Amino acid sequence: AQSVTQPDIHITVSEGASLELRCNYSYGATPYLFWYVQSPGQGLQLLLKYFSGDTLVQGIKGFEAEFKRSQSSFNLRKPSVHWSDAAEYFCAAYQAGTALIFGKGTTLSVSS
Amino acid sequence: SAVISQKPSRDICQRGTSLTIQCQVDSQVTMMFWYRQQPGQSLTLIATANQGSEATYESGFVIDKFPISRPNLTFSTLTVSNMSPEDSSIYLCSVEAPGQTNTGELFFGEGSRLTVL
Protein backbone atom coordinates (compact mmCIF):
# COMPACT_ATOMS: atom_id res chain seq x y z
CA ALA A 1 0.00 0.00 0.00
CA GLN A 2 1.10 3.54 -0.67
CA SER A 3 2.39 5.37 2.37
CA VAL A 4 4.33 8.38 3.60
CA THR A 5 6.47 8.12 6.71
CA GLN A 6 7.81 10.90 8.86
CA PRO A 7 10.06 9.17 11.39
CA ASP A 8 10.35 12.10 13.78
CA ILE A 9 7.25 13.00 15.78
CA HIS A 10 8.79 15.98 17.55
CA ILE A 11 12.01 17.91 16.97
CA THR A 12 13.44 20.80 18.98
CA VAL A 13 15.96 23.10 17.34
CA SER A 14 17.71 26.16 18.68
CA GLU A 15 16.93 29.41 16.97
CA GLY A 16 19.53 30.02 14.29
CA ALA A 17 20.46 26.36 13.99
CA SER A 18 19.90 24.30 10.90
CA LEU A 19 16.93 22.00 10.45
CA GLU A 20 16.24 18.77 8.61
CA LEU A 21 12.90 17.00 8.69
CA ARG A 22 12.79 13.51 7.27
CA CYS A 23 10.23 12.04 4.90
CA ASN A 24 10.14 8.66 3.19
CA TYR A 25 7.56 7.41 0.74
CA SER A 26 6.51 3.98 -0.42
CA TYR A 27 5.02 3.98 -3.91
CA GLY A 28 5.40 1.76 -6.95
CA ALA A 29 6.55 4.73 -9.01
CA THR A 30 7.87 8.12 -7.98
CA PRO A 31 4.93 10.23 -6.84
CA TYR A 32 4.61 13.98 -6.76
CA LEU A 33 5.91 15.16 -3.39
CA PHE A 34 4.95 18.05 -1.14
CA TRP A 35 5.75 19.66 2.17
CA TYR A 36 3.03 21.58 4.00
CA VAL A 37 3.21 23.59 7.22
CA GLN A 38 0.41 24.04 9.72
CA SER A 39 0.75 26.78 12.29
CA PRO A 40 -1.39 26.56 15.44
CA GLY A 41 -5.02 27.22 14.63
CA GLN A 42 -4.30 27.57 10.93
CA GLY A 43 -4.89 25.55 7.82
CA LEU A 44 -2.13 23.99 5.78
CA GLN A 45 0.20 26.08 3.66
CA LEU A 46 2.25 24.62 0.84
CA LEU A 47 5.99 25.10 1.40
CA LEU A 48 7.30 23.41 -1.73
CA LYS A 49 6.66 20.68 -4.23
CA TYR A 50 8.55 18.24 -6.43
CA PHE A 51 7.12 17.01 -9.71
CA SER A 52 10.24 16.18 -11.72
CA GLY A 53 13.60 17.59 -12.79
CA ASP A 54 16.04 19.22 -10.39
CA THR A 55 16.13 17.15 -7.23
CA LEU A 56 16.75 20.17 -4.99
CA VAL A 57 13.66 22.34 -4.82
CA GLN A 58 13.32 25.73 -3.25
CA GLY A 59 10.22 26.81 -1.40
CA ILE A 60 8.85 29.68 0.56
CA LYS A 61 10.18 31.01 3.88
CA GLY A 62 13.73 29.86 3.09
CA PHE A 63 12.93 26.14 3.01
CA GLU A 64 14.32 23.65 0.54
CA ALA A 65 13.92 19.93 0.02
CA GLU A 66 15.97 17.29 -1.69
CA PHE A 67 14.48 14.35 -3.54
CA LYS A 68 16.56 11.18 -3.42
CA ARG A 69 15.12 8.39 -5.53
CA SER A 70 17.57 5.79 -4.22
CA GLN A 71 16.41 6.43 -0.66
CA SER A 72 12.75 7.13 -1.46
CA SER A 73 13.18 10.30 0.55
CA PHE A 74 12.17 13.92 0.34
CA ASN A 75 13.76 15.67 3.32
CA LEU A 76 13.01 19.27 4.22
CA ARG A 77 15.82 21.60 5.24
CA LYS A 78 16.38 25.13 6.40
CA PRO A 79 19.82 26.58 7.13
CA SER A 80 18.78 28.85 9.98
CA VAL A 81 15.56 28.37 11.92
CA HIS A 82 13.52 31.29 13.23
CA TRP A 83 11.17 31.17 16.20
CA SER A 84 8.26 31.71 13.81
CA ASP A 85 9.03 28.38 12.13
CA ALA A 86 7.60 26.50 15.12
CA ALA A 87 4.70 24.55 13.64
CA GLU A 88 3.56 21.15 12.42
CA TYR A 89 5.14 19.98 9.18
CA PHE A 90 3.53 17.43 6.89
CA CYS A 91 5.07 15.57 4.01
CA ALA A 92 2.60 14.37 1.36
CA ALA A 93 2.67 12.34 -1.82
CA TYR A 94 0.36 12.05 -4.79
CA GLN A 95 -0.04 9.70 -7.71
CA ALA A 96 -2.64 10.20 -10.43
CA GLY A 97 -5.89 8.46 -9.70
CA THR A 98 -5.27 8.27 -5.97
CA ALA A 99 -5.72 10.57 -3.01
CA LEU A 100 -3.06 12.90 -1.67
CA ILE A 101 -1.52 10.93 1.22
CA PHE A 102 -0.02 12.68 4.21
CA GLY A 103 2.57 11.58 6.70
CA LYS A 104 1.73 11.82 10.39
CA GLY A 105 3.56 15.09 10.74
CA THR A 106 6.54 16.40 12.67
CA THR A 107 6.12 19.03 15.35
CA LEU A 108 8.92 21.56 15.33
CA SER A 109 9.74 23.48 18.48
CA VAL A 110 12.27 26.30 18.43
CA SER A 111 14.20 27.12 21.56
CA SER A 112 15.86 30.46 22.24
CA SER B 1 -3.77 30.89 -5.37
CA ALA B 2 -7.22 30.26 -3.96
CA VAL B 3 -8.76 31.73 -0.83
CA ILE B 4 -10.91 29.28 1.10
CA SER B 5 -13.24 30.29 3.91
CA GLN B 6 -14.72 27.78 6.31
CA LYS B 7 -17.51 28.20 8.82
CA PRO B 8 -17.64 27.58 11.69
CA SER B 9 -14.01 27.87 12.68
CA ARG B 10 -14.75 25.91 15.83
CA ASP B 11 -17.73 24.51 17.67
CA ILE B 12 -18.60 22.42 20.67
CA CYS B 13 -21.38 19.95 19.98
CA GLN B 14 -23.45 17.50 21.95
CA ARG B 15 -23.40 13.79 21.28
CA GLY B 16 -26.08 12.71 18.83
CA THR B 17 -26.44 16.05 17.08
CA SER B 18 -25.35 17.00 13.57
CA LEU B 19 -23.30 19.93 12.35
CA THR B 20 -22.85 21.36 8.88
CA ILE B 21 -19.56 22.93 7.87
CA GLN B 22 -19.50 25.39 5.01
CA CYS B 23 -16.67 25.96 2.56
CA GLN B 24 -16.54 28.94 0.23
CA VAL B 25 -13.85 29.41 -2.44
CA ASP B 26 -13.06 32.71 -4.14
CA SER B 27 -12.82 31.12 -7.59
CA GLN B 28 -14.60 28.41 -9.52
CA VAL B 29 -13.11 24.97 -9.00
CA THR B 30 -14.02 21.58 -10.36
CA MET B 31 -13.23 19.44 -7.36
CA MET B 32 -13.36 20.16 -3.66
CA PHE B 33 -11.91 17.83 -1.06
CA TRP B 34 -12.86 17.28 2.55
CA TYR B 35 -10.23 16.05 5.00
CA ARG B 36 -10.36 15.03 8.64
CA GLN B 37 -7.50 15.59 11.06
CA GLN B 38 -8.05 13.75 14.32
CA PRO B 39 -6.18 14.98 17.41
CA GLY B 40 -2.47 14.33 17.03
CA GLN B 41 -3.00 12.58 13.73
CA SER B 42 -2.41 13.26 10.09
CA LEU B 43 -4.95 14.28 7.49
CA THR B 44 -7.27 11.70 6.01
CA LEU B 45 -9.38 12.30 2.92
CA ILE B 46 -13.09 11.88 3.60
CA ALA B 47 -14.48 12.53 0.14
CA THR B 48 -14.14 14.37 -3.13
CA ALA B 49 -17.00 16.62 -4.17
CA ASN B 50 -17.67 17.45 -7.82
CA GLN B 51 -20.33 19.95 -8.79
CA GLY B 52 -23.39 18.28 -10.22
CA SER B 53 -22.63 14.77 -9.07
CA GLU B 54 -22.56 12.77 -5.88
CA ALA B 55 -19.46 12.93 -3.77
CA THR B 56 -16.96 10.10 -3.91
CA TYR B 57 -16.15 8.71 -0.48
CA GLU B 58 -12.92 7.09 0.66
CA SER B 59 -12.81 3.75 2.37
CA GLY B 60 -14.14 4.00 5.89
CA PHE B 61 -16.37 7.01 5.23
CA VAL B 62 -20.04 6.80 4.24
CA ILE B 63 -22.58 9.24 2.94
CA ASP B 64 -25.02 8.68 5.79
CA LYS B 65 -22.43 9.84 8.30
CA PHE B 66 -20.81 12.58 6.20
CA PRO B 67 -23.32 13.89 3.66
CA ILE B 68 -21.84 16.44 1.30
CA SER B 69 -23.47 19.03 -0.91
CA ARG B 70 -21.89 20.80 -3.88
CA PRO B 71 -24.49 23.16 -5.29
CA ASN B 72 -22.11 25.24 -7.41
CA LEU B 73 -18.48 25.66 -8.40
CA THR B 74 -17.51 27.81 -5.40
CA PHE B 75 -19.32 26.24 -2.45
CA SER B 76 -19.63 22.96 -0.58
CA THR B 77 -20.90 21.72 2.74
CA LEU B 78 -19.96 18.74 4.87
CA THR B 79 -22.34 17.51 7.54
CA VAL B 80 -21.12 15.39 10.42
CA SER B 81 -24.18 13.41 11.46
CA ASN B 82 -25.13 11.83 14.77
CA MET B 83 -21.87 12.91 16.31
CA SER B 84 -19.94 11.02 18.93
CA PRO B 85 -16.77 12.04 20.80
CA GLU B 86 -14.77 10.08 18.21
CA ASP B 87 -15.81 12.69 15.64
CA SER B 88 -13.89 15.39 17.50
CA SER B 89 -11.48 16.54 14.82
CA ILE B 90 -10.45 19.35 12.58
CA TYR B 91 -12.30 19.18 9.27
CA LEU B 92 -10.57 20.86 6.36
CA CYS B 93 -11.83 21.87 2.97
CA SER B 94 -9.36 21.99 0.10
CA VAL B 95 -9.20 22.66 -3.63
CA GLU B 96 -6.68 22.06 -6.35
CA ALA B 97 -4.24 24.84 -7.08
CA PRO B 98 -5.42 26.86 -10.11
CA GLY B 99 -3.97 25.43 -13.28
CA GLN B 100 -2.67 22.36 -11.47
CA THR B 101 -5.32 19.78 -12.29
CA ASN B 102 -4.59 16.28 -11.08
CA THR B 103 -1.21 17.06 -9.54
CA GLY B 104 -2.19 16.69 -5.90
CA GLU B 105 -1.24 20.30 -5.17
CA LEU B 106 -3.96 21.60 -2.86
CA PHE B 107 -4.96 24.79 -1.10
CA PHE B 108 -6.57 24.38 2.30
CA GLY B 109 -9.03 26.32 4.36
CA GLU B 110 -8.22 27.10 7.97
CA GLY B 111 -10.29 24.20 9.16
CA SER B 112 -13.26 23.71 11.44
CA ARG B 113 -12.36 22.37 14.86
CA LEU B 114 -15.20 20.30 16.30
CA THR B 115 -15.35 19.06 19.86
CA VAL B 116 -18.07 16.56 20.68
CA LEU B 117 -19.05 16.13 24.32
Quick check: B105 and A103 CB within 8 A?
A: no
Alpha carbons B30 and B63: distance in angstroms, whole number: 20
Residues of A with CB under 8 A from a CB of B: 31-32, 34, 36, 41-46, 49, 51, 90, 92-96, 99-100, 102-105
List the beta bridge partners of residue A91.
A35
Assess contact for B57 and B63: CB atoms under 8 A. Answer: yes
Residue B112: is its pLDDT beyond 90? yes
Assess contact for A11 and A108: CB atoms under 8 A. Answer: yes
Model confidence pLDDT, tens digit, residues A70-102: 999 999 999 999 999 999 999 999 998 888 999
- Portion of chain B with pLDDT greater than 70, in percent: 100
Residue B99: is its pLDDT beyond 80? no
* Length in residues, chain A: 112
Q: Which residues of chain A have pLDDT under 70?
A: none
